[in-house]
Structure 1
Amino acid sequence: MRQIGENLWVHEDSMSMMGTRLGLRMTIIRLADGAVWVHSPTAMSDHLKHQVDGIGQVKYIVAANNAHSKWLQEWCEAYPDADAYVSAGIPRKVPLSNYHILQKGMENVWKEDLLWETMPHVPLFNETVFFHQPSRSLIVTDMIQNYPEQEPEGMAGLLTKYVFEPIGFKGCCVAPPLKMGLTIKDKQAFARFIDHIRQWDFERIVVTHGDIIEDDAKTIFSDLTARFLQ
């Protein structure tokens, strides 16, 4: 785990996918009231839990995309008093007892620290993105990804070159299902969602897959999402 900004930490991990390793990143924030907010939890371990507990008391566990729930339950069990905030599709996959659905119109209980916006009419993802104001960081799950140019060796490299890259998982990119547009059911509403995010004053994009975007983050975001405003 490492600190990358004011009251902002990340934990780097990975998981196996089709014979290759997919990088993952969990984001941890200490809120203004001292509570700890965990986004996109990675695999739990005693060492990781000890590090997170050193930041403060975990009160919020956030799984903001339908595809990112693999370790959610074990985090909820490790922190039974924490509230889970999840995307709309997750309760159908994970047995949760204390949770809230991230959705438009919901009260922002983190308003001193975070702004957030949920993708409208994208049921595949139902992703919510966050803007951590103190560190000026945009936090995303699958929406924006940033893969290193160097391909891995062996079978993982072949899968990357001949399977993942051709369908769009290459370099700094929008998630291919969004790029193709087939998953967006209301393109005008999605354009408003993008325009809202563009108004946030972020200087960093903390992605869940790939390298954190530290330079020219707003320009990169604008360039990648211009297709949705046309």
Structure 2
Amino acid sequence: MRQIGDGIWVHEDSMKMLGTKLGLRMTVIRLSDGRLWVHSPTAISPALKQQIDELGSVCFLVAANNHHSKWLQDWIEAYPDAEVYVSAGIPRKVPLSNYHILQRGMENEWQDDLEWQTMPSVPLFNETVFFHHRSKSLIVTDLVQNYPENTTHNGLAGAMTKYVFEPIGFKGRCVAPPLKMGFTIKDKPAFYRFIQSVQEWDFDKIIVTHGDIIEDDAQTVFANLSSRFAS
């Protein structure tokens, strides 16, 4: 666990995807009332659980993108009293019994600490993004990614990166490559309104789930990456 701001920590992890190593990041926020909010849970271990428990009581588990539920059930078992908030596609993949679907118009349980917006008309992701006031952090899952430019391409993993992932857009600072394909966004004006709402937040860093945290001129980076959606 690494503290990156007032009341906010991250945990770095990774997983194998098609022969290559994919970096992952979990974000933990201590809310104003002391309860812990956990975004995009990574693989849990006794050592990690001990670090988390030293920060406070886990009361919210948040899996805000259809493709990020791999360890959710493990966290639910570790913290059975936590409230679970998920994107719309996750209940079809994880046998949840008690949960809330993140969706536009629902009450903001964390309004003293967080604002959020749910990505409209993209059923592939159904992603919700968050703004943490105290640390001025934009927290995303797949919407924005940030891969190191100086990666050495060795072995099978290197070949997959060089000849498969990078050519389709998983390179440097990028939006999720599927969003560049017109058919994934079912209502482009609505999606652009979502982007505009996110741009109104006063963030100075973007905590991505994949790649390095974006800390230099984050608002300009976001505006440049999302300019494609204006047309």
Q: What TM-score, normalized to structure 1?
A: 0.99
CA deviation vs aligned residue, 1:68-117 (integer Å, no higher than 9, x gap):
00000000110000000000000011011121000001100000000000
CA-based RMSD of the aligned residues comes to 0.6
Contact 1:118 1:126 in 2 (8 A): yes
Paired with 2:157 and 2:120, the residues of 1 have a C-alpha distance of: 34
Q: Secondary structure at the match of 1:111?
A: coil
* Aligned residue runs from structure 1 range 166-177, under 5 A: 166-177=167-178
Which residue is 1:206 aligned to?
Answer: 207
How much does 1:156 deviate? 1.2
What is the CA distance between 1:136 and its match in structure 2?
0.2
Rounded Cα–Cα distance in structure 2 between residues aligned with 1:135 and 1:181: 34
Mapped to 2, the partners of 1:229 and 1:78 lie a distance apart of 43
Cα displacement (A) at 1:151: 2.0
Is contact 1:87–1:127 with CA below 8 Å preserved after alignment? Answer: yes
Q: Distance in 2 between matches of 1:116 and 1:28?
A: 16
Structure 1 residues 4-49: Cα deviation after superposition (integer angstroms, max 9, x where no partner): 0110000000000001110000000000000000000000100000
CA deviation profile, 1:208-230 (whole Å, cap 9, x unmatched)? 00000000000000000011112
Does 2:32 match 1:10?
A: no
SS at match of 2:108: coil
Q: Which runs of 5+ in 1 are unaligned?
A: none
Identity %: 72
Q: Give CA-to-partner distance per residue, 1:99-145, whole Å, 9 cap, x none.
A: 10000011000000000000001000000000001000000000000
Q: What is the match of residue 94 of structure 2?
A: 94
Q: Return the alpha-carbon distance in structure 1 between the equivalents of residues 223 and 110 of structure 2.
A: 26
Which shows bigger deviation, 174-183 or 39-48? 174-183
Structure 2 matches for 1:128-207, cutoff 5 A?
Answer: 128-152=128-152, 153-207=154-208
Offset of residue 154 of structure 1: 1.9
1:229 corresponds to: 230
The aligned counterpart of 1:125 is 125
Deviation at 1:181, TM superposition (A): 2.3
In 2, distance between residues paired with 1:31 and 1:154?
Answer: 44
Matched, 1:112 2:112: yes
2: CA distance between counterparts of 1:64 and 1:16?
21
Q: Give the whole-Å Cα distance in 2 for the aligned partners of 1:39 and 1:159.
A: 28
The answer to whether 1:218 aligns with 2:219 is yes
Q: Is the 8 A contact 1:15 1:21 kept in 2?
A: yes
4+ residue runs over 4 A deviation: none
Consecutive unaligned residues of structure 2, counting only runs of 5 or more, are none
What are the superposed Cα offsets for residues 170-214 of structure 1, whole Å, 9 maximum, x if unpaired?
A: 000000000222210000000100000000000000000000000
Q: Structure 1 counterpart of 2:205, which letter?
A: R
Q: How many Å apart are 1:56 and its aligned residue?
A: 0.5
Work out the number of aligned pairs and report it: 230
